[in-house]
């Protein structure tokens, strides 16, 4: 798609392979071609937005990255190394963490339990509750979260605070790449402010972020690069700080197309 080591850290030179490189990815569900020959790249310390209309293939691509769906063709490289992601656990072990639209938090459990759900830290076979709580506190602090306590039940939290717990959960196990599917959908402005700030903090931590959204204002506020999908095909790559709304919208709606 484009080859630039955007925001490459001090020592990583521009020749370093991207954090994630996907080539010629295709995926169909029966007669529906969800992804057709899509290339996609994310670097360390970069926020890449994935935008497009409904059914453009954004969430399918996210699910391929997360190891939920298997592409029918195409290759995936992480830091230059070819990989397959047959299961979500494999993707997680490769440093990919995903927050899906539903968040999938357990209402009845507290913040700490949700952050470590399915990946509980154990000591001598017992749950290391204090250790997990300390870690949870640390994740929340790194994201500058306004959550009273890691012991607060999730049912007591606002939509923005829940999104923050879901993002904090991705930090378990030191990931390299975070995929966020519609993290600002149906949030108030104050909550959007917090979530966008969290996304910026992930970038400052040196992580790569894939930010899927319908909201071009939110996308252009934090993304470095915007990749447009239309009916499963790649339809344009834009620099978020430089390219105008109109150009991105034209690509989303198909007023401009790219032949590939």
Partner 1 sequence: MLVRARLSGYSHPVAGHVLSSGSQSALREANSARLLGAVRQFGGITQVELAEATGLSPATVSTIVKQLLLAGIVETRSTTRSGRRAQMVTLAHKSGLLVGAHIGTRALRLAIADSRFEILAERTLPLPSDHRLDTTLDRTALLAMELVDGLGSTTSEILGVGIGLPAPVDPTTGMILDQGLMRGWANVAIADVVSSRINSPVAVDNDANLSALGEARFGAGRGFRDVLYVWASYGTGAGLIIDGEIHRGPRGTAGEIGHTLVDPQGPICRCGSRGCLDTLVGAQALIDSLRISRGPMSLSDLLEFASSGDPGCRQVVADAGAAIGVAVANLAVAFNPEVVVVGGELAQTDVIFLDPIRAAVNHRVLISRENPLEVRRGELGSLAPVQGALAMAAELAHVPGGR
Binding site for partner 1 (CB under 8 A): 4-8, 10, 14, 45, 137, 141, 144, 146, 148-149, 151-152, 155-156, 188-190, 192-194, 196-197, 200, 204, 216-217, 219-222, 224, 239-242, 244-245
Q: Which is nearer to partner 1, 15 or 54 (CB)?
A: 15
Minimum separation from the CB atom of position 211 to partner 1 (A): 12
CB atoms near residue 254 (< 10 Å): 12
Q: Which is nearer to partner 1, 96 or 168 (CB)?
A: 168
Are the beta carbons of 131 and 123 closer than 8 angstroms?
yes
The sign one gets for the Cα dihedral 155, 160, 166, 168 is: negative
The DSSP bridge pattern shows strands 177-181 and 96-99 to be: parallel
Minimum separation from the CB atom of position 153 to partner 1 (A): 9
b/e per residue, 179-197, with b = 16+ CB within 10 A? bbbbbbeebeeebbebbbe
Minimum separation from the CB atom of position 72 to partner 1 (A): 34
Q: Which is nearer to partner 1, 62 or 226 (CB)?
A: 226
Task: Determine the Cα–Cα distance for residues 36 and 197; give it in Å rounded to an integer.
Answer: 33
Q: Which is nearer to partner 1, 245 or 257 (CB)?
A: 245
Minimum separation from the CB atom of position 89 to partner 1 (A): 32
Minimum separation from the CB atom of position 40 to partner 1 (A): 18
Distance of CA 121 to the CA centre of its chain: 24
Let me know if 37 is exposed, middle or buried by CB neighbors in 10 A (0-12, 13-18, 19+).
Answer: middle
Q: Which is nearer to partner 1, 16 or 68 (CB)?
A: 16
């Amino acid at each position: 798609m484009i080859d630039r080591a955007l925001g490459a850290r001090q020592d990583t030179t521009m020749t370093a392979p991207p954090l994630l490189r996907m080539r010629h990815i295709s995926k169909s569900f029966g007669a529906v071609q969800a992804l057709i020959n899509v290339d996609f790249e994310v670097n360390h310390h970069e926020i890449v937005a994935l935008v497009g209309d409904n059914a453009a293939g954004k969430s399918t691509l996210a699910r391929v990255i997360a190891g939920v769906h298997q592409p029918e063709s195409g290759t995936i490289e992480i830091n230059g190394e070819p990989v397959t992601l047959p299961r979500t656990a494999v993707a997680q072990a490769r440093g990919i963490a995903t927050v899906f639209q539903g968040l999938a938090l357990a209402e009845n459990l507290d913040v700490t339990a949700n952050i470590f759900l399915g990946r509980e830290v154990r000591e001598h076979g017992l749950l290391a509750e204090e250790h997990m709580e300390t870690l949870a506190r640390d994740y929340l602090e790194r994201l500058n979260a306004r959550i009273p306590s890691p012991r607060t039940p999730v049912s007591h939290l606002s939509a923005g605070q829940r999104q923050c717990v879901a993002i904090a959960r991705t930090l378990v196990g030191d990931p390299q790449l975070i995929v966020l599917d519609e993290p600002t959908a149906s949030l108030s402005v104050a909550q959007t402010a917090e979530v966008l700030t969290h996304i910026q903090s992930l970038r400052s931590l040196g992580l790569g972020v894939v930010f899927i959204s319908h909201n071009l204002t939110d996308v252009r506020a934090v993304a470095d690069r915007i990749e447009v999908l239309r009916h499963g095909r790649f339809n344009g790559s834009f620099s978020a700080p430089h390219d105008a709304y109109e150009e991105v919208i034209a690509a989303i709606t198909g007023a401009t197309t790219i032949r590939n």
